[in-house]
Amino acid sequence: MLRRTPFGETSLVVHVLTPNHGRVELMAKGAHRPRSRFFGVLDWFDTLELSWVRRGDSELGTLREGELHIRRRQLTRSLRSYRAAQTVVELADLVTRAGFSDREQFALAEGALDALDRAQGPPSALLAGFELKLLEQLGLAPALVTCATCGAPAAAVDPGSVEPRAPFSTAVGGRLCPIHANEAHASGLRVGTLPVSILESAQLALSAPLEELDRAGWPTDRSIRVLDFAGRFLDHHLEARPKSHARFLAAPDRNRRPASRPDAP
């Protein structure tokens, strides 16, 4: 379920993501009546079996049958899991409203809710993995290892430092080699740098199955910084920010180069 809006005293209008029909808008008549067959069925984060009818070219269908298929109870037992699951749903809502909707997206969102429901550790790395995989599905995955423009190796600018950084431009699509970093900069695009270790972790988060990211047990700081990176990249390309992510992303960029201290050697 992507959205749920009360309608009248007892009914609901819901937007659901389906594997075969993309995004569907349905009226659930009397859903709030205790004796309704939909009572307690249309809850967040569950997988449902629904059947509906739609007349003529009306966008709004009428829900006929609704059954709970998979309930993910764990997600409502901790605030951080609940928030992460909310972000998954909000992002699925944002991309399907923009007209992207297919079987793969359904599978990714459902898989993310499953993985969050079974997670033993904090959800940040898992959520970052979901966001990067979503970007990939939209054809917007950042270049994390090689140059976004030419595919050549994109070396760190300060290889000897404690935390080496590589040129990166969100507008160009990711990490850049020195030539294309200069070219992008000369054409007025914003080019910064990001820690190579965070880009490498993001690459892992993009390629590893979501369950593995939970088992990997990354230090909190690393998970948070990869999530910060993925969230900002997504924010830039979707031009919309999920409400559940707004506070996290309102903080200063956690991957910004630390201000040089005057007493540093």
Residues near Zn ion (CB under 5 A) are 147, 149-150, 152, 177, 180
C-alpha distances in angstroms, 223 versus 22, 110, 174, 202? 31, 21, 19, 9
Nearer to Zn ion, 180 or 245 (CB): 180
- Report how far residue 117's alpha carbon sits from residue 130's, in angstroms, rounded to the nearest whole number: 14
Nearer to Zn ion, 6 or 159 (CB): 159
Nearer to Zn ion, 150 or 240 (CB): 150
Q: Which two tokens stand for residue 218?
A: 């990354």
- Report how far residue 16's alpha carbon sits from residue 122's, in angstroms, rounded to the nearest whole number: 27
Rounded to the nearest whole angstrom, what is the least distance from the CB of residue 154 to Zn ion in the complex?
Answer: 7
Burial classification of residue 55, based on how many CB atoms lie within 10 Å of its CB (0-12 exposed, 13-18 middle, 19 or more buried): exposed
Rounded to the nearest whole angstrom, what is the least distance from the CB of residue 155 to Zn ion in the complex?
Answer: 11
- Report how far residue 87's alpha carbon sits from residue 89's, in angstroms, rounded to the nearest whole number: 5
CB 131 within 8 Å of CB 234: yes
Nearer to Zn ion, 126 or 184 (CB): 184
Is 123 strand, coil or helix?
coil
Rounded to the nearest whole angstrom, what is the least distance from the CB of residue 237 to Zn ion in the complex?
Answer: 20
Nearer to Zn ion, 72 or 180 (CB): 180
Rounded to the nearest whole angstrom, what is the least distance from the CB of residue 156 to Zn ion in the complex?
Answer: 15
Nearer to Zn ion, 98 or 152 (CB): 152
Rounded to the nearest whole angstrom, what is the least distance from the CB of residue 107 to Zn ion in the complex?
Answer: 33
- Report how far residue 34's alpha carbon sits from residue 89's, in angstroms, rounded to the nearest whole number: 26
Q: Measuring CA to CA, which residue among 255, 253, 246, 242 is closest to residue 109? A: 242
Nearer to Zn ion, 17 or 154 (CB): 154
Rounded to the nearest whole angstrom, what is the least distance from the CB of residue 164 to Zn ion in the complex?
Answer: 18
Amino acid of residue 203: Q
Rounded to the nearest whole angstrom, what is the least distance from the CB of residue 168 to Zn ion in the complex?
Answer: 12
Is 171 strand, coil or helix?
coil
CB 198 within 8 Å of CB 255: yes
Nearer to Zn ion, 89 or 181 (CB): 181
CB 170 within 8 Å of CB 194: no
- Report how far residue 31's alpha carbon sits from residue 130's, in angstroms, rounded to the nearest whole number: 31
Rounded to the nearest whole angstrom, what is the least distance from the CB of residue 191 to Zn ion in the complex?
Answer: 12
